Amino acid sequence: MTYREFNAYCAALPATTHVVQWGGAHVWKVGGKVFAIGGWERGSHPGITFKVSDIGWEILRDAPGCRPAPWLASRGMKWIQNHGPGLGKRELKQYLKASHALVAAGLSKRKRAELGL
């Protein structure tokens, strides 16, 4: 997945906002909370970071092309960085959508209603 495809997909998810921060990373948020980060390219594969469920963590933390996300996972958070050819476009989109849903579910009921979620 290219950064263009990553940004287009995240923009299509409901109630998202985009900022560029942390040294040029493409940061996607829902309700002001981060759900995906694109940055720190390694070769021809962009580094795409996203939040995962407990099951997703168990599946992806040792999967080829994936690793616990630097800075986030080291603080006990369940975030994965896809930094190689491990996940295909379809799989990566599914995980990005799930990350969006996980973060949105953690918002207050009022905030979700304001955002139409």
pLDDT the model gives residue 41: 62
- Do the strands 48-51 and 33-38 form a parallel or antiparallel pair, or are they unpaired? antiparallel
Residue pair 83/37 in contact (Cβ under 8 Å)? The answer is no
CA dihedral over 28, 51, 69, 34, signed as positive or negative: positive
Tokens representing 17 are 């906002």
Block residue for tokens 């955002």? 115
**pLDDT tens digits along 19-46:** 998 788 899 999 999 999 998 665 566 7
pTM score of the predicted model: 0.90
- CB proximity list for 63: less than 8 A, separation 6 or greater: 86, 87
